[in-house]
Structure 1
Amino acid sequence: MAPSLSAQDYADITQIFALFGYTFDSAADAGYQWADLYTPDGVFVAGSVVATMRGRETLAAFAAGRLAFPNGFVTLTPGPGTPHNPLAIAHILTDLLITPTPDGAVAKAYRLNARIGDDGRATLAPGGVYHVLLARTPGGWRFKENWYIGPGGAVQEGAKRFLATAGTGAAPAAATGATPGSGRDRMPALTLDAEDDAAIRQLYARFSHAVASGAGDTSLSHLFTSDGVLVDTWTGTSHRGPAALDGLARAARARQEGQGAAGDTEFVWTVKLEATPQGAFGKAYMMTGAPQAPGTPVVMTNGGQYWDDLVKTSDGWRFRKRVFQRSSQVPPPDTRQGR
């Protein structure tokens, strides 16, 4: 019988890849949150054999910026590392391809490098590809091997075995010295079931399309609870209740008609979801693309993170509170920063 994964497995693996971006970009817990996405003997290879990291302490040092590989040499800086902005956006992983194997799964993801300037202007550049071997552990899915290949970079010998098995369901040959690991459980509990996970991700997509098109007088309000609120901490504005939210939709439609073209487009990536007693808490990376003259590229004009409180109603999942945090601003003293 061909190996297979459940819908819950796909949802949980997708969550692991979302956590990859958040935990690395923020260097949360001095890099240990990123390190704990790996099995105890997990390895990350950053483009060359020299930049090979194995084990929790080494991985945490790399995520915290204490471990570097300048010009083929290894440098390790003592201390906790430089504090990172928890609103930072840097690693955007897209087009996640997951293939079941007899012992777990392999995955491939494209990477975009993102940067938000002090003026809020967002830039994107090709960032390479990840080839990943995943293991199912008592603590959930974890990275066992993670091979990063930069833009235009050569495929490392150790990663070539992934290319031969991509999409086939066959397991890649074992790497030299690889041993099974038991994993750790320092990540948020992955307790949302696959159906809820899929429904919330569709809610995120509907929001982006509603903002871009302004289609329908209730294009935004029906995505929120009756007392739901949308807060923009950068502009200091908030919109609570159906009338205010629908007003935003009408304004978006008016801008679109005035431009004679499609309105601003929201691009949302790296959706991270966590179950809460009230429903769920979500984070997402967001950038806005503004239309320019016909035939010219879209310009990224804004970027940051959405922090969302979500509840499951009789009509499905809805936003109770959606907060936009611009990456160039000073993070607020919010207890959710470390989540």
Structure 2
Amino acid sequence: MAICKTLTTAAVGFGLLAQGTISGQHEASAKPMTLTTMDYIEIRQLASRYAFAVDTGSNNGYDYADLFSADGEFMHPYAKGRDQLASLARGGRVGPLNIVHYLTNHVIEPTADGATGKQYLIELNWDLNRDQGGRGQSQAAQEPNVQVQNRSNQNAQSGRERGGLGPNRWDLIGRKAGDLARVGGHYEDVYVKTADGWRFKKRDFVPSKSGADPAPPPPPRVRDTSQQTAVTPAPPTRFVEPTKQSTLTAMDYLQLQQLVSSYGHALDSGYGKGENGTAYADLYTPDATFGNNTGRDRLIEVAKIEPRGPDYVRHYLFNHVIEPTAEGVKGKEYLIVIDVGENGKPSTLYLGGHYEETYARTADGWRMNSRRLFPPRSGPQPASTPPTSTPSAPQHVETESVKQAKRSSLTDADYMGIQQLVAHAAYALDGATDRGQAFAKLFTPDGVLRAKLPQPYEIRGRAQLAAYAMGDLTHRGPAYVRDYTTNHVIFPSPEGATGRMYLIWIEVGENGYPGVVQSGGRYEDVYVKTSEGWRIKSRTFVPSKLGARATWEYSPAN
């Protein structure tokens, strides 16, 4: 459904990004309040919960409404107050497995009375076959933890012959399960801290539009509710806000985010090494369950059957929600598996859905103890059993992030500062803000941007970086969005930090033309802490490239 459809007390404000020089959004007379790392985390969790609430219509729409303050409003279409907001999250296609709103690049700015923010949105349609009278049979191209009821006898036999791990994934590359909807752009938000935690005071959607001067949106049209059928208000769903619980610290939230963000890097490329089995299994406890697969050896096989390669990117994760419970900690997030086109072939949305998992704290940090993938499907669904687990006994598994953390350390404010830095980069580049200067100032004065393309290039220094950001102004502008980034993992290093993140370039449809996934890959970054805050010292774009099948295909034993 579209609506367009530890605790650190140190200031994380603009130690993060040298507030006056980059944002310049606040009046000099109004001193911004100080946001702690936990404030940033709670606002990001609020935005992640937004996607689930609006897509599922849970609690008769009131889970969505309760993300807003009592006088909160959504601008286009206009709704204000709990009942009107709840009515926006109702409709024929909502349901517990409905997946539409993918959100990323979340920038948060402190203000005198709270905070403002913005966030990229792309809506996806996973009901292709249902729209044609089917029941989503394109979902047959799925990971081994998804149970497909109508798999052919041939595929079922193939799965048995491959140790129960399903059909050969290499044969399925390029299959199409979903498509871009005609909605993409960014949200502009106002947040307020209430007695119940951070809430939206206002949210507006700005559709993507290239060009320097997009037409302003029409004024909100107040809804006529006089003929609206009365609905009994539902009680609010209980959710423990990050700033109102003591189970998890700010660093716990950040480490859980890093764990989930590592998923694609480990599975698709083994962090650039190609061998993915051990890297993938290291994200789990030794006795973890992924769908119907249990134990470290089995999870290594689950990873190795997937298409992979040192430069391959495929699994993009969005909208990560973390929730402490009486039993431990659980989480959920949206998934897109994108087959980025190579050699002139178009990119395709191979698989979508959402993961649900439980986490266990081990001697080496947080690990997943159970995980399950739910394929997308709109409308009411039969009740399902959520993933359950027994806490695993700690076992020493030294992952790449643990090894690097021993050489240096970052505070929770450092992690948040770097995350906000890279989120700003998308807006500064796509918007050509301040004639490219906003993008250039995110780098050190001698910062470098490189691309490992067939014709590689290197751009060095702020003057060249600003000129690069200006680019083709027909594909820039204050309302234009294209660089969707996710899976951001940060590693401490002797000089500061390094980072890896996935990128997908989506040209949102305009003027009646459909959108298109143009390309994708990953950024490899080096960050340093300067007198202006964290800055990018170097950034390298590595396009996605599937490894040679003869080298990387794995055939499991029967």
> What interval of TM-score do these two structures reach, taking the shorter chain for normalisation?
0.7 to 0.9
Supply the distance in 2 between the matched residues of 1:243 and 1:336 (Cα, whole angstroms): 24
Q: Pick closer, same or farther for the CA change 1:85–1:34 going to 2, 3 Å.
A: same
Which residue in 1 is equivalent to 2:439?
Answer: none
Supply the distance in 2 between the matched residues of 1:86 and 1:304 (Cα, whole angstroms): 11
> Does structure 1 residue 224 correspond to structure 2 residue 284?
yes
Which residue in 2 is equivalent to 1:39?
Answer: 69
> Does structure 2 retain, via aligned residues, the 8 Å contact 1:239–1:245?
yes
| CA deviation after TM superposition for structure 1 residue 197, in Å | 1.1
Q: 1:195 aligns with which of 243, 251, 263?
A: 251
| CA deviation after TM superposition for structure 1 residue 289, in Å | 1.1
Supply the distance in 2 between the matched residues of 1:216 and 1:336 (Cα, whole angstroms): 27
Supply the distance in 1 between the matched residues of 2:98 and 2:72 (Cα, whole angstroms): 25
How many residue pairs match? The answer is: 282
| CA deviation after TM superposition for structure 1 residue 114, in Å | 1.2
Supply the distance in 1 between the matched residues of 2:70 and 2:32 (Cα, whole angstroms): 28
In the alignment, residue 95 of structure 2 is paired with which amino acid? N
Aligned to 1:244, the other structure's residue is in SS state: helix
| CA deviation after TM superposition for structure 1 residue 293, in Å | 3.4
Which residue in 1 is equivalent to 2:267?
Answer: 211
Which residue in 1 is equivalent to 2:185?
Answer: 128
Aligned to 2:305, the other structure's residue is in SS state: helix
% identity of equivalent residues: 29
Which residue in 1 is equivalent to 2:22?
Answer: none
> Does structure 1 residue 111 correspond to structure 2 residue 165?
no
Q: 1:245 aligns with which of 295, 299, 315?
A: 299
Supply the distance in 1 between the matched residues of 2:289 and 2:42 (Cα, whole angstroms): 29
| CA deviation after TM superposition for structure 1 residue 186, in Å | 3.9
Aligned to 2:338, the other structure's residue is in SS state: strand
In the alignment, residue 202 of structure 1 is paired with which amino acid? Q
| CA deviation after TM superposition for structure 1 residue 216, in Å | 4.6
Residues 1-339 of structure 1 mapped to structure 2, 5 A cutoff: 2-46=32-76, 51-65=77-91, 82=92, 84-117=94-127, 118=136, 119-120=138-139, 121-125=177-181, 126-152=183-209, 154-156=215-217, 186-190=237-241, 191=245, 192-214=248-270, 215-231=275-291, 238-252=292-306, 255-256=307-308, 262-263=311-312, 265-328=314-377, 331=381, 333-334=383-384, 336=386
> Does structure 2 retain, via aligned residues, the 8 Å contact 1:285–1:306?
yes
In the alignment, residue 204 of structure 2 is paired with which amino acid? W
> Does structure 1 retain, via aligned residues, the 8 Å contact 2:48–2:319?
yes
Who wins on radius of gyration, i.e. which is larger? 2
Deviations 1:75-127, CA, capped at 9 Å, x for gaps: xxxxxxx4722111111111111000111000111110111132231223551
Q: Pick closer, same or farther for the CA change 1:302–1:186 going to 2, 3 Å.
A: same
| CA deviation after TM superposition for structure 1 residue 149, in Å | 1.9
Which blocks of at least 5 consecutive residues in structure 2 are unaligned?
1-30, 128-135, 140-176, 221-234, 388-558
| CA deviation after TM superposition for structure 1 residue 302, in Å | 0.6
In the alignment, residue 253 of structure 2 is paired with which amino acid? D
> Does structure 2 retain, via aligned residues, the 8 Å contact 1:4–1:100?
yes
Q: Pick closer, same or farther for the CA change 1:53–1:312 going to 2, 3 Å.
A: same
> Does structure 1 retain, via aligned residues, the 8 Å contact 2:71–2:81?
yes
Which blocks of at least 5 consecutive residues in structure 1 are unaligned?
66-81, 160-183, 232-237
Supply the distance in 1 between the matched residues of 2:124 and 2:343 (Cα, whole angstroms): 25
Supply the distance in 1 between the matched residues of 2:50 and 2:288 (Cα, whole angstroms): 30
Supply the distance in 2 between the matched residues of 1:83 and 1:251 (Cα, whole angstroms): 34
Which residue in 1 is equivalent to 2:390?
Answer: none
> Does structure 1 retain, via aligned residues, the 8 Å contact 2:66–2:236?
yes
Deviations 1:202-228, CA, capped at 9 Å, x for gaps: 111111111111435411221111110
| CA deviation after TM superposition for structure 1 residue 263, in Å | 4.4
- Is the deviation greater in 101-110 or in 213-222? 213-222
Aligned to 1:210, the other structure's residue is in SS state: helix
In the alignment, residue 251 of structure 1 is paired with which amino acid? I
In the alignment, residue 256 of structure 1 is paired with which amino acid? R
Q: Pick closer, same or farther for the CA change 1:211–1:154 going to 2, 3 Å.
A: same
Query: Could you state the TM-score of these two structures normalised by the residue count of structure 2?
Result: 0.47
Supply the distance in 1 between the matched residues of 2:33 and 2:195 (Cα, whole angstroms): 20
More strand by share: 1
Supply the distance in 2 between the matched residues of 1:331 and 1:200 (Cα, whole angstroms): 29
Aligned to 1:61, the other structure's residue is in SS state: helix
Deviations 1:21-78, CA, capped at 9 Å, x for gaps: 00000000110000001111111111xxxx321110111111113xxxxxxxxxxxxx
In the alignment, residue 145 of structure 1 is paired with which amino acid? K
> Does structure 2 retain, via aligned residues, the 8 Å contact 1:282–1:309?
yes
| CA deviation after TM superposition for structure 1 residue 264, in Å | 5.7
Aligned to 2:261, the other structure's residue is in SS state: helix
> Does structure 2 retain, via aligned residues, the 8 Å contact 1:87–1:304?
yes
Q: Pick closer, same or farther for the CA change 1:288–1:228 going to 2, 3 Å.
A: same
Query: Could you state the TM-score of these two structures normalised by the residue count of structure 1?
Result: 0.76
Q: CA RMSD in A?
A: 2.5
Supply the distance in 1 between the matched residues of 2:343 and 2:265 (Cα, whole angstroms): 21
In the alignment, residue 117 of structure 2 is paired with which amino acid? A
